[in-house]
Structure 1
Amino acid sequence: MKKQLPKELASFPMLPRYGGASLVEVPAMVLSHFGIGNGRPVLQNSSYLKHTTGAEKIILFFADGLGYNHLVRARNAGNRLFELFRIFGSISALTTIFPTTTAAGLTAVHSGLSPQEHGLPEWNVYFKEFDMVIQTIPFTPYHGKERDQLLAMGGTPEMLYDGPTIYEELRRVGVPSYVFANKGYAESTFSRATFRGSSVVPFTRGFDLMVKLRVLVEADSGPGYFFVYWDPIDIAEHEFGPESAEHYSETNMFSTLIVEEFLRKCRMSREAAAKVSLLLTADHGQIAVRPENIVYLDDLVPLGEYCVKGGNGAKIMPTGSARDTFLFVNPQRRMECVAHLRTVLDGVAEVLLTEDAIACGLFGIGTPCQRFLDRIGNVLILPRGENLIWHREYRKDPTRLRGTHGGLSLEELLIPFCAARLSDLLD
């Protein structure tokens, strides 16, 4: 049973709606569609069923960084793909998970589990296995520059995620699944941990992605699940900002790619296309980074005095991101630290005990796994509005990015869920 919502969380306009209206229910919906009941809730909004019932194939485009509000603004500005979904399909808003990060969201959509169940909450996470803070998806040390450096230190894919994937569950009932990922990371440690059970299809650019997708969808005569991961929208937001012309241009290029290179060149008969459902969702949206909104913890509190030491004797510095900061505080000084932080961050951020956030369901449903508990710290800082909370020990200046995510603003939290039958989208 969930604990009563702490007053610190009650100040946010919305929290993740696990249990029927969150990203976690999307993979559950896919499994249910193919006859796999695992006891987990599926999407409560049934408007998508008109476009999926009876379908043999499901194509899910997963657009990293495409927030719901941004999709609506792009659609209103004439984005062709989103307008087709509005006319011939359905568009609804879901919440993503918390933290609103790619590490937590991608692991959720591949596993069907919430962050506290799958155990991979953020990009910067303390791993007891290495006794250091690492970058999770690149699987490299905190200040590492090369992908998968931790393999040379004894790291394995199972350290990131060792549970079942939805692709393994689909395979057990004879449904093949395909994961389309950029060749730069299609065989990475994170991909090997989360793509298990699927046929991985690497691509170089959008043009070969669409050709490979068309060929497989048209050639496969039976059931199938096709997961397409696309990250340039997120990259454009980070580099230029979530409301930049460059970001909208990248979003429109994504739309044009699907419309021109997949829909218009699809050779399936309308009868066959009627048995294909096309879905689109995302892991999070973004907010703009403004230098005047950044607060550095080490300018306000003696972090070194509060933080615990790891096994190597070094202090475990703040992890997470500037929108969701996790502290590993000495238990004997934790309440002192929390009181200090609440004073200096009054009106800027909310500070709460991590166990209170877990108890009220902020990190998901189900039993938290031990890995999650080891990695999440014992104090959580949640910036209000568009504020950013970070520390100078982290050598990468937050202002190097123009967009960011991880927090609980509506721009970060709301994601789209679009559904249409392929036959309805063809010219």
Structure 2
Amino acid sequence: MIHPAWPDQEEPAPLALDSAPVPQYGRGSLADLLPTLAAGQGVTGMTAAIAELTPADRNCVFLIDGLGWEQLAAHPDEAPFLTSLMGSSRGGTGLPITAGFPATTATSLASVGTGLPPAKHGLPGYTARNPETGELMNQLRWKPWTSPRVWQPYPTVFQLADEAGVHTAQVSSPAFEETPLTKIALSGGTFHGRLSAEDRMDLAAEQLAAGDRSLVYTYYSELDGKGHRFGVDSDAWRGQLMYVDRLVQRLVEQLPPRTALYVTADHGMIDIPFDEQSRIDFDEDWELRAGVALLGGEGRARHVYAVPGAESDVLTVWREVLGEQFWVASRDEAIEAGWFGRPDELDERVYGRIGDVVAAAHDDVVITASVNEPNESAMAGMHGSMTPAEQLVPLLEVRS
């Protein structure tokens, strides 16, 4: 096949790494949300990094998986209540913040719960190499098994708030209660499992009222699933957005006094056409495979682990082949550019989990792996990179 990265010119111009819109760690990212709220509740060691937020005695974070700022803004008819919050018409704050890199669920939920960037919490993608074993680890499904507390040793903001006397709770699906990701990112206080999303809204309101100072987290996943399967402009996705809009309104109507509710998300999403120009199949591309031992990450945010000694050659080839459509960086370049957090925040244990080469999509294109990742390769909607459609998530505030 002819590679879509090669236009009709002699020398393709690769994207400059300094053109990548790096997440706003330390002032406007998901990792800054809970520390800002907990600081306002008097939890020691927390920093109020998001200047637009003012303290509240009771705080609730409702995270809607896959609800990007741009997707919400494009669908006002399906989400009139949420759209009204974007304009701060209810006296709160409506602004976009950045998810973090990569913009994917495991990384983002770890950033939310720990209040740390990926460089420190150490979940740098959908899949990442375990330097101790040399295997790819799926950090969402936690396969193959590794000790959760070894993989992510830092306490969560929920744990620190609970120790400080804040009534702390998570309200989510019962299926998530015992998962390793919940244990290392979203634990602290009490977990309350409810199958019905309406029941979760009701119980979240009850948990908020249970303390003079409360920190409550609740979560909804189905919007993301519809986006992956059918795309973010499909009837199925729009129907889910309408439902989510009603859920938020249901929760708002039950907020106890002195509460701030924050509606946010873990990432946005874009639809990728099903054609060879938009979907580059790593498993069928000899150039991209040359010198590669493992392919990690996901279609729009790839960690590439080279055969020892081939790191420089792999970087050169990936830049030559993909450099007009992807930001392609070496591990050290990505770290120094702040893709995963401030360079001085990088934990030593995290360094080898990051690819020798890191490729983040700029255009509407993905690197699939049809043989090794058949399910992921078949998705209509995808995410992971630093484009606004993936990176910007809402931070919508309602106060009672």
Give TM-score scaled by structure 2 length: 0.88
Answer yes or no: is 1:410 the counterpart of 2:400.
no
Asked if the contact 1:319/1:326 (under 8 Å) is kept, the reply is yes
> Corresponding residue for 1:290?
273
> Corresponding residue for 2:361?
383
> Which residue among 132, 136, 146 is the counterpart of 1:133?
136
Answer yes or no: is 1:24 the counterpart of 2:15.
no
Aligned equivalents of 1:94 and 1:201: distance in 2?
28
CA RMSD in angstroms comes to 2.2
Question: CA 1:379/1:386 → structure 2, altered by over 3 Å: closer, same or farther?
Answer: same
Amino acid at match of 2:330: L
Answer yes or no: is 1:87 the counterpart of 2:78.
no
Asked if the contact 1:101/1:121 (under 8 Å) is kept, the reply is no
Counterparts of residues 235-384 of structure 1 (less than 5 Å): 235-260=225-250, 262-264=251-253, 266=254, 273-292=256-275, 293-302=278-287, 305-307=290-292, 316-365=293-342, 366-384=344-362
> Corresponding residue for 1:112?
115
Counterparts of residues 92-241 of structure 1 (less than 5 Å): 92-141=95-144, 150=145, 155-218=146-209, 220-241=210-231
Count of aligned positions: 382
Cα distance, 1:179 vs. partner?
A: 0.9
Cα distance, 1:81 vs. partner?
A: 3.8
Aligned equivalents of 2:112 and 2:205: distance in 1?
23
> Corresponding residue for 1:310?
none
SS in 2 for 1:170: helix
Asked if the contact 1:24/1:113 (under 8 Å) is kept, the reply is yes
Asked if the contact 1:326/1:381 (under 8 Å) is kept, the reply is yes
Amino acid at match of 1:402: A
Q: Which runs of 5+ in 1 are unaligned?
A: 1-5, 142-149, 308-315, 423-427
Question: CA 1:160/1:289 → structure 2, altered by over 3 Å: closer, same or farther?
Answer: farther
Question: CA 1:397/1:206 → structure 2, altered by over 3 Å: closer, same or farther?
Answer: closer
Asked if the contact 1:58/1:277 (under 8 Å) is kept, the reply is yes
Asked if the contact 1:175/1:224 (under 8 Å) is kept, the reply is yes
SS in 1 for 2:206: helix
Q: Which structure 1 residue ranges, 4+ long, deviate > 6 Å from structure 2?
A: none
Amino acid at match of 2:389: E
Cα distance, 1:78 vs. partner?
A: 5.1
Cα distance, 1:27 vs. partner?
A: 1.6
Question: CA 1:81/1:379 → structure 2, altered by over 3 Å: closer, same or farther?
Answer: closer
Asked if the contact 1:290/1:399 (under 8 Å) is kept, the reply is no
> Corresponding residue for 1:61?
62
Cα distance, 1:131 vs. partner?
A: 3.3
Question: CA 1:333/1:276 → structure 2, altered by over 3 Å: closer, same or farther?
Answer: same
Asked if the contact 1:238/1:403 (under 8 Å) is kept, the reply is yes
Aligned equivalents of 2:47 and 2:248: distance in 1?
31
Amino acid at match of 2:297: G
Asked if the contact 2:103/2:385 (under 8 Å) is kept, the reply is yes
Aligned equivalents of 1:221 and 1:359: distance in 2?
43
Aligned equivalents of 1:36 and 1:78: distance in 2?
35
Give TM-score scaled by structure 1 length: 0.83
